[in-house]
Amino acid sequence: MFLSKLFLPITKNLPSDAKIKSHQLMLRAGMIKQSSAGIYSWLPIGLKVMKKIEEIVREEQNKIGAQELLMPTIQPAEIWKESKRYEDYGEEMLRIKDRQGREMLYGPTNEELITDIFRSSIKSYKSLPQMLYHIQWKFRDEIRPRFGVMRCREFFMKDAYSFDVDEANAKISYNKMFYSYLKTFKRLGLQAIPMAADTGPIGGDLSHEFIILAETGESKIYTDKSIFKIDVNNYNFDIKSLEKMRNDFSSVYAATDDKFEQIKFDKLVTKQNQIITKGIEVGHIFYFGDKYSKPLNCFIDNKDGKKNSVKMGSYGIGVSRLVGAIIEANYEKEVMKWPKSISPFDVVIIPSISKNNKENLTKSLKLYDDLKKQNIDVLLDDVDENMSQKFKKHDLIGIPYQIIVGSKSTESKIEFKEINSESSFIDFKEVKSKIKS
């Protein structure tokens, strides 16, 4: 892609409500544009980053055997009335009527709809377990949307649902999702801590939030430093290993403020190991048994021929929210550095261009073509602008690697720079290995 052709409306003017760095940088870098309070248009590089996150989330869900479907954004009110949540959910739910006067809603979550799909299709324990997920837009009418995509009204989310014959098997599904979430966040360059959490309006008695540490986070968290030593890569994808993994994490004190107990914290965590800080929630998982299956009459025939209510779990990842969370975890001053797995481009070529000297642009075009042939996603800055302005712009965009084509470059050596680091001169043949390492 040539920068001159890229729709990239970089701006210096920020709205007064852009208080946190991710909101400011996403607006400045032309990733999003506010449509109305808490609702945004996703512009090309913002959408490109979000789609890469979506694909990583999808790949990790598929690896544990979850199956993708797609449910609508608009749901009938009847199934929410069956579950008794239609009135209880509160004013965050956007309620509407169609032209026939039927009550509808813009889905804030999908427990009712997925249960309705399941109950009409699965009747026997022989078809269990099942894990189904979709990645879809949601709407919650936040009373005070703020922090850009971190707390908005319309958001892009992966939600998954597990269906099991009994509690023991349901907790195996829960552990699989626990594992999948840790793997997902690791691929996104995040160290997410699973913490005991309140179940909120979803319900149930087992829940974990996955939190990344950030001073701009809304959740106050309490944990033991030793939790950072537990590595998901040390566990296998089998029942015993997954159970050990969750037990190992659960054995270390880690809780959000709604689950915090001062006496227990002081007893279990030595003063030098205590961490009290803020964090950003990037995922939330729940086991809620038959909270939805019973009122919605979602029963299966078990081995002895009796009808049994399906045991369910729910698992959410805010895909659009993750874009902001990753920025909060990675920016330094005004410089953003995307993790390689989700960067809008692999590398940017920045030539020194002037009207009287087109040689650097010619070199850059050849380099651009050579990199494209190696399946490297490259951005070429072909805009006639001074180098100081170019560097500021590319520090803002946050592509992790830069190739600088100027007077110091030769036929055999090019200036290569990792963002926010010193540059060095390398052979062109080394570029691909540097980028893909």
Per-residue tokens: 135 = 């990645």
Tell the residue number behind the tokens 């001062």, with chain if given.
262
Say which residues have a Cβ less than 8 Å from residue 331's Cβ, sequence separation at least 6.
Answer: 21, 22, 25, 337
**Contact indicator for 177, 185 with CB cutoff of 8 Å:** no
Fold match between domain 3-330 and domain 347-436: no
The model's pTM: 0.94
In this predicted model, which residue has the larger pLDDT, 200 or 338? 338
Residue 151 has pLDDT above 80, yes or no: yes
Cα distances (angstroms) measured from residue 351 to each of 45, 287, 418: 21, 54, 16
In whole numbers, what is the pLDDT of the chain averaged over residues? Answer: 91
Task: Parse the chain into domains and list their residue ranges.
Answer: 3-330, 347-436
Quick: pLDDT tens for 64-91.
999 999 999 999 999 999 999 999 898 9
Instruction: Report the CATH fold assignment for 3-330.
Output: BirA Bifunctional Protein; domain 2 (3.30.930)
Domain 347-436 has CATH 3.40.50.800: yes
Amino acid type, 288: F
Q: Quick one: pLDDT at residue 273?
A: 94
H helix intervals, 3-43? 21-28
Q: Reply yes or no on whether the pLDDT at 3 is more than 60.
A: yes
pLDDT at 281: 93
Q: Classify burial at 407, counting beta carbons within 10 Å of its beta carbon; exposed 0-12, middle 13-18, buried 19 or more.
A: exposed
- What pLDDT does 355 receive? 64
Distance in angstroms (rounded) separating the CA atoms of residues 366 and 386: 21
User: Residue 14: its pLDDT value, please?
Assistant: 83
DSSP string, 326-364: HHHHH-BTTB----TTT-SSSEEEEE--BTTB-HHHHHH
pLDDT of 202 strictly over 60: no
pLDDT > 70? residue 274:
yes
Residue 99's pLDDT band (boundaries 50, 70, 90)? very high
Nearest-angstrom CA–CA distance, 374 and 435: 11
What distance in Å separates the CA atoms of residue 157 and residue 313, rounded to the nearest whole number? 16
Give the CA angle between residues 288, 66, 255 to the nearest 5°.
45
Q: Strands 94-97 and 67-68, how do they pair?
A: unpaired
Residue 88, both tokens: 């209880």
pLDDT in tens, 158-195: 999 999 999 999 999 999 999 999 999 999 999 999 99
Write the CB contacts of 141 (distance below 8 Å, at least 6 apart in sequence).
91, 92, 93, 94, 153
Res. 212: pLDDT tops 60: yes
Q: What is the model's pLDDT at position 357?
A: 67
Q: Which residue has the higher pLDDT, 413 or 297?
A: 297
Q: How far is CA 99 from the centre of its chain?
A: 36
Q: Which of 242-246, 301-305, 306-310 has the lowest mean pLDDT?
A: 301-305
Higher pLDDT, 80 or 216: 80
User: 45: exposed, middle or buried (C-beta count within 10 Å: 0-12, 13-18, 19+)?
Assistant: buried
What's the pLDDT score for residue 200? 60
Q: Is pLDDT of 266 > 60?
A: yes
User: Is 90 exceeded by the pLDDT of residue 283?
Assistant: yes
**Residue 356 pLDDT:** 64
